[in-house]
Amino acid sequence: MPNRPKIYCACDVPDLHSALNLAQQMDGLPIGIKLGLEFFMGEGLNGVATIRRKHPDTSIFLDLKFHDIPNTVASALRVISDIGVDYTNLHASGGLEMMQRALDAVNSVPNPARLLAVTVLTALDDDALGAVGQQVPVADQVARLALLTQQAGLAGVVCSAHEILPLRAACGNDFILMTPGIRPEGSANDDQKRVMTPRDALLAGTTHMVIGRPITQSDNPRQAAEDILESILNA
């Protein structure tokens, strides 16, 4: 596996050509690519495999957020983990057995992906979480699900940057924290409600950051990425 960088660029596009173009622009930078549902629904496993083949040194986070019965999730992840991605994920709210079965499936292949669990989506705040019947405040639910993830043996969680400090205290320094909702100074929050700048997230103790539109919707994505890297150089 390639080295896992601190920044993953969210490649939220539906077609292989656009994804390959973005990956090409990131070549040579210490930045990975996050491929999500939009890309996967358009291009599937073959699309992911093509990016892996054409960019063998680029770290890939396959962000599909599985949530189903344990056997179904385990079967799906057994396939996903065999195509050469560094990270993939599921929802911690699927429960302990689902996560344990999924981890066994992932680890059944020679070069397994590292498995992360989504705690609470960064598009949700206390009001939105309460409306679907989950316990609030958000921070308490995130901590509860992160500890369950750690109990299941997974590598870490996907969480808001605002939960970094309490999760570091609860789960330790070796627990991976992948944080979306990262916005450089002056960027719009878009549909994210719990956001933080890249520098502040690193200083708080995140492992990896997911940054999308501030890079991908820039007139010059590579320059935008280089500017972000410069902003965290001494963090």
pLDDT of residue 205: 94
Phi first, then psi, for residue 62 (nearest 5°) are -95, 105
**Residues with catalytic annotation?**
65
Q: What are the helix (H) ranges across the chain?
A: 16-26, 37-54, 70-80, 96-106, 126-131, 138-152, 164-171, 198-204, 213-216, 221-231
pTM, whole model, 2 decimals? 0.91
Delineate the domains of the chain, giving CATH numbers in brackets.
7-231 (3.20.20.70)
Can the peptide bond before residue 110 be classed as cis, meaning omega within 30 degrees of 0? no
pLDDT at 190: 52
Taking alpha carbons only, the member of 226, 232, 221 closest to residue 25 is 221
Which two tokens mark 94?
Answer: 């699927």
Among 217, 235, 208, 230, CA closest to 32: 208
Predicted confidence pLDDT, tens digits, the chain (235 residues) = 446 889 999 998 999 999 999 999 999 999 999 999 999 999 999 999 999 999 999 999 999 999 999 999 999 999 888 899 999 999 999 999 999 999 999 999 888 999 999 998 878 878 888 888 777 788 899 999 999 999 999 999 999 888 999 999 999 999 999 999 888 875 554 554 556 889 999 999 999 999 999 999 999 999 999 999 998 876 5
- Cα 43-222-234 angle, rounded to 5 deg: 120
pLDDT at 73: 97
Spell out the residues 6+ positions from residue 75 whose beta carbon is closer than 8 angstroms to its own: 105
